[in-house]
Amino acid sequence: MKDKSEEILSVDNLKLYYPESAGLFKSSNTIKAVDDVSFKLINGETLGIVGESGSGKSSICRLILSLVVKTSGKISWFGNDLDGYTKKEMKDFRKKVQIIFQDPYGSLDPRMTIGSIIKEPLDIFNGQLSKQEKEEKIFQLMNDVGLSNDLFNRYPHELSGGQCQRVGIARALINEPSVLICDEPVSALDLSIQAQILDLLNDLKSKYNLTLIFVSHDLSVIKAICDKVLVLKHGIIIENRNTDDLFNNPKDDYTKKLISSVPSPIPLAK
Amino acid sequence: MNKQENIKAIEISKTLKGRSLWVDARRRLFLNKAAVISLFTLIIISIVSVFGPFFLQYNFSDTDWGSIYQPPSFETGHYLGTDGNGRDLLVRILHGGRLSLSIGLIATFVSVFIGVLYGTIAGFFGGKLDIFMMRIVEILYAMPYLIFVIILMVVFGRNIYFLFIAIGAVEWLTMARIVRGQTISLKEKEFIETSKALGQSNTLIIVKHIIPNLAGPIIVYITLMVPSVIILESFLSFLGLGVQEPLTSWGVLISEGSREMETAWWLLIFPGSFMVITLASLNFIGDGLRDAIDPKEY
């Protein structure tokens, strides 16, 4: 068994600057999407990242997965800097860190069946499995995320938003990753489905020993699921604390404002 | 559930088929009367062009000095009349149809192949490569295509295969632009990002995700490109750069017919009708496909 307090992922002084092209003869500004962000991810915890739109939440997710090229900083996986990774090591890393996105329909290829969508990661990482082994795995995953077997040959446009999100989760989990990054996974769903998906994530977390990074702008969701919270504003971390601490006694004015602005139908318990 | 039952249950659930976007599109296409009628017309014209000449008594290159400029008549067997060399017009139209349709198809295929490859690469990789590749397209766009084709024909000789390639090489520019634009909007989609996050190779992302999702616009554009290729070929033939005697195409027939239209009207009317019907059908099919494949976007 891994040490509970083991540090899986650490991010040091991460920066992502975009040049803002201001036309041919003007000097260009830089937009600081992520500015000097550092945090650590401990095995088994759920880390919440919260902030308003444009505060750099999604950029951090994409940076961790090397989907965008960072301006500077260091991302380490079990203490090893990702920059020094060979192609093969990078592939192993990608197998271990998966992401689910906000838009349930946008994250599924509309021309592929549910079965082949969930199968894609298997083809990349487990090419040696036979067709039948792959199918067994797919059906097992579909059961785990609560999808009926009938949906195997269906297409995304025939499914509801909640079902599509479950397909996304199944695809992310099929190679048994250790970290799952959830980029606003429930923001596009209605409240009752949100609750179902959050429950599902919680169940899967213990079943698959997952460590979650959970991005949201909704503080009630964060409160329900996260152990620790990063509060981001304009790409800068302004608070990095345990969830209970944060909600009971917010330090920064911005955090106070965020907490008081929650229009939740379920009043935040004191 | 034991393993056997489990496998059985899986097999059963696999028999349930979903409605793919293609099935939906086909249903919508077949509800479109104009498109269905055009599709039938086009199929009939193609079949008749390919197989018709075998059932007629005349050969397309046989001259008959005894029956020059015969008007259409059932008694002589020249159902659509004869031309200035006494050759049977119907056979010549069908032979011309073979050539025009195959030029349409092959040249379109050539241009789609180049265009899709070029467009997806430029769009998907973006950045400096994209800028460089698209500037080349713009430079080629700026060249008068007719001069381009004429130069090609002069350099390589008047070979009909070069005609295919020359036309294809001119027509791919628009295809590349369309494909590039679509690729850029597609690659921002989250399912592409997921694939990248999975470490899928760029080639496989293009083959598995980008091209299947581009298929709709590509197919629509093909149906609109075939007619323009046929017209381009006709135009080149009209200028005497196209197909050489005794081979013929609709463009050649129309060009000859137009010279004789005061004395022998049938030489212009019949090839002209074949071409007009074919082009109109293709356009209606293209319209129908566009509505069928993506009802939201148009």
Residues B172 and B112: their CA atoms lie apart, in Å, by 6
Pick the more confident residue, B229 or B245. B229
Band (A270; pLDDT cuts 50, 70, 90): very low
At residue B258, what is the residue type?
S
Residues B85 and B165: their CA atoms lie apart, in Å, by 31
Here the tokens at position B140 are: 């080629």
> DSSP assignment, residue A175?
T
Residues A126 and B171: their CA atoms lie apart, in Å, by 42
Residues A253 and A50: their CA atoms lie apart, in Å, by 15
Walk me through the domains of chain B, giving residue ranges and CATH numbers. 21-48+87-293 (1.10.3720.10)
Report the range of poorest mean pLDDT among A105-119, A198-212, B169-183, B262-276.
B262-276
Question: CA nearest B214 in A: which residue?
Answer: A111
Which pLDDT tens digit goes with each residue over B102-150?
Answer: 888 888 888 889 999 999 999 999 888 999 999 999 988 888 877 877 7
Question: CA nearest B204 in A: which residue?
Answer: A124
Here the tokens at position A93 are: 């890393």
Residues B161 and B153: their CA atoms lie apart, in Å, by 10
Mean pLDDT, to the nearest integer, of B57-66?
70
pLDDT at position B176: 92
Per the prediction, chain A carries an average pLDDT of 84
Residues B48 and B50: their CA atoms lie apart, in Å, by 6
- Kindly determine whether residue B17 and residue A157, on different chains, have CB atoms separated by under 8 Å: no
Residues B150 and B166: their CA atoms lie apart, in Å, by 9
- CB contacts of A107 in chain B (<8 Å) are 190-191, 193-194
Residues A57 and A224: their CA atoms lie apart, in Å, by 19
Which pLDDT tens digit goes with each residue over B88-106?
Answer: 778 888 888 888 888 888 8
> DSSP assignment, residue A269?
P
Band (B40; pLDDT cuts 50, 70, 90): very high
Which pLDDT tens digit goes with each residue over A230-249?
Answer: 888 888 888 888 888 888 88
pLDDT at position B20: 76
Residues B116 and B221: their CA atoms lie apart, in Å, by 12
Instruction: Spell out the alpha helix ranges (H) of chain A.
Output: 57-64, 87-96, 114-125, 131-144, 161-173, 191-207, 219-225, 243-248, 253-260
Mean pLDDT, to the nearest integer, of A218-224?
83
| Residue A140 touches partner B, C-beta closer than 8 Å | no
Residue A206 C-alpha, separation from nearest chain B C-alpha, in angstroms: 23
Residues A247 and A262: their CA atoms lie apart, in Å, by 12
For residue B161, count other CB atoms closer than 10 A to its CB. 9
Highest mean pLDDT range out of A52-56, A75-79, B154-158? A75-79
